[in-house]
């Protein structure tokens, strides 16, 4: 069982906007630690998508955005494209575990 909670799956039609939520507790996201997001395309390694709650690395389209509030965070993807179909993972730091922790991952299906 993962420390951070994500929905197993979400879906949307091309052009639509979807949001993936990530819920933590007082020892991780709720303690003020940043949330980061990774995209894992089928058969490939994870790729950093959002860091520090809402920052995009160079090359990541501005269709991807992140936010954080309290002990939760979210990743929004607007203008869905077929190439966005992937698994998405949130990640933070847990001060009780003294470890980086991940969500269980959310599979995005583009209908």
Partner 1 sequence: QVQLHEPGPALVEPSETLSLTCSVSGHSISSDYYWGWIRQPPGKGLEWIGYVYHSGSTRYNPSLKSRVTISVDTSKNQFSLHLSSVTAADAAVYYCARDRVDYYMDVWGKGTRVTVS
Q: CB of 14: closest distance to partner 1 in angstroms?
A: 27
Contact 71/23 with Cβ under 8 angstroms? yes
Q: Which of residues 25-84 bind partner 1 (CB under 8 A)?
A: 33-34, 36, 38, 44-48, 51-52, 57
Q: CB of 57: closest distance to partner 1 in angstroms?
A: 7
Q: Does 88 bind partner 1 (CB under 8 A)?
A: no
Binding site for partner 1 (CB under 8 A): 2, 33-34, 36, 38, 44-48, 51-52, 57, 89, 91-93, 97-105
């Amino acid at each position: 069982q993962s420390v951070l909670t994500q929905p197993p799956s979400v879906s949307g039609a091309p052009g639509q906007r979807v949001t993936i939520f990530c819920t933590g507790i007082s020892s991780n996201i709720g303690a003020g630690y940043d949330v980061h997001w990774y995209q894992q395309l089928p058969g490939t390694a994870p790729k950093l998508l959002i860091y520090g709650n809402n920052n995009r690395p160079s090359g990541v389209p501005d269709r991807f955005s992140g936010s954080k509030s309290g002990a939760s965070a979210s990743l929004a993807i607007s203008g869905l494209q077929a190439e966005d179909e992937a698994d998405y993972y949130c990640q933070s730091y847990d001060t009780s575990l003294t470890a980086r922790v991940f969500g269980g991952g959310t599979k995005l299906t583009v209908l």
